[in-house]
Structure 1
Amino acid sequence: MNDKPNAEPTSAAEELRQAMQDMLEQDNHLVKGLAAQSKKQLAREVVHLRAMIKVVQNATRNVRIDGHRFGHAEAFMLMTYKEVDGEGSILVWNSRDGVTPFVINIGSKKYQHDIPRQQGPFFDLPREHPVSHVWVTRTDAQVLEAWRRTMDRAVELGKIDPEKAKGMRDNLEVAESWHYRIGLRNLETGRFTDEEVLEAAHVTNPNQPELFPND
């Protein structure tokens, strides 16, 4: 809070920074007092407090007051995706500071990001909202697993030469060029939606699958 009547309003980031600095000053005095006692049973707590202070100090230094802390506008945002050919919508939380697809396919439905309804940022899953999916950054193993699944399906349908697919199956760079680093996880099933889309396509329409569902 700003106690000066004629001062400019204090931003949330500035208030956070000041509160963290006040806490750090208090904790620094506590650490010095504990260390001065030279008691063995306090050693672990001292180490813990010092480590905590260092982590929080580093985090506080990165807080900017200009509102441009992230590399992408949708970083950590709660995103509404509207059904393209219907009235439905879903809530997707972006757990990362990274670009996300504007259009996604889930099952037989196509959704489009409704940018004006974006909320946040949220730095943990906003459980007070009915979030159904989460954008995540996949590990190398998860990227290749999804990519190999796509290659196998393409070969099965005759969309790609088996020898060419074989040479591409373990190519992480190619997989990333198709945006397979970005994963959309279904919170209900715990599975990635591209896996679910390919599985559904195989069952309902085996001759015309969505090979690259979030392109």
Structure 2
Amino acid sequence: MRDFNRYRHKGAFCLMKYAAEDGSEVEWIWNSRDGVTPFCVSNRTGDKMLQHVDWHLDRRIFDYQPMPCERIFVDLSPDRARQRAERTIEHYWNRDDCAHIRQLFGTKEKAIEGLLAESRVGEAPDLVEFGSLEPGAYRR
């Protein structure tokens, strides 16, 4: 049984409010881990930023049961880190203003490996939809 009185981060196992600056969107996101969370995340459609607001309303709920399709923070997995790195390099690789990436790494694969080396797998937060997780992908 986990000793829930011991946690490293204030946001550990908290349900937190994220909102658009204009107030048009609010989303409550659960942090399923004892790890940091970002101050801002993209909304589901990717056209607005949601900021962690009203911190005084954060509630630590150790046995929170997310609903399918609800977004939660989990530890970044190796597979998700690779997906992110591949997507990032693919996006920037051929841009004229990013020639330095090609010069530094030489190949896309080396650039991907470079990003993976900095990704903090198992420690960095990842925002995922609960129903999309593999069984056991988040800690309870």
State the match for 1:89 in structure 2: 26
Residue matched to 1:63? 3
Q: Percent identity?
A: 26
1:118-152: per-residue Cα shift (whole Å, max 9, x none)?
1122334244xx98311011222221221121111
Per-residue deviation at 1:170? 1.2
CA drift of 1:163 comes to: 4.6
Deviation at 1:113, TM superposition (A): 0.6
- 1:151 pairs, out of 65, 69, 89, with 89
The question of 1:80 aligning with 2:20 is answered: no
CA contact (8 A) 1:90 1:132 kept: no
Contact in 2 for aligned 1:103/1:111 (Cα 8 Å): yes
Structure with greater helix percent:
1
The SS at the match of 1:123 is coil
Shift of 1:95: 0.8
**In angstroms, what is the RMSD of aligned CA positions?**
2.8
Distance 2:127 2:112 in 1: 21
Aligned-partner SS, 1:82: strand
Q: Using a 3 Å threshold, how does the CA distance of structure 1 residues 150 and 163 change in structure 2: closer, same or farther?
A: same
Which residue type is aligned with residue 181 of structure 1?
A: A
- 3-state SS of the aligned residue for 2:19? strand
From 159, 164, 170, the equivalent of 2:104 is 164
The number of equivalent residue pairs is 123
> Are the counterparts in 1 of residues 69 and 129 from structure 2 also a CA contact under 8 Å?
no
TM-score scaled by structure 1? 0.49
Structure 2 alignment gaps of length 5 or more: 134-140
**3-state SS, counterpart of residue 134 of structure 1:** strand
Task: Name the SS of the counterpart of 2:60 in structure 1.
Answer: coil
Contact 1:105 1:111 in 2 (8 A): yes
Higher relative contact order (CA 8 A, sep 6+): 2
TM-score (norm 2): 0.71
Structure 1 spans left out of the alignment, 5+ residues? 1-58, 192-215
Tell whether the 8 Å contact from 1:85 to 1:110 is kept in structure 2 after alignment.
Answer: no
Deviation, structure 1 residue 87: 3.2
Contact 1:90–1:131 (8 Å) recurs in 2: no
Give distance in 2, aligned partners of 1:95 and 1:159.
38
Moved segments of 4+, more than 6 Å: none
CA–CA distance in structure 2, aligned partners of residues 91 and 184 of structure 1: 12
Deviations 1:177-214 (A, max 9, x none): 9xx932101347x38xxxxxxxxxxxxxxxxxxxxxxx
Higher strand share: 2
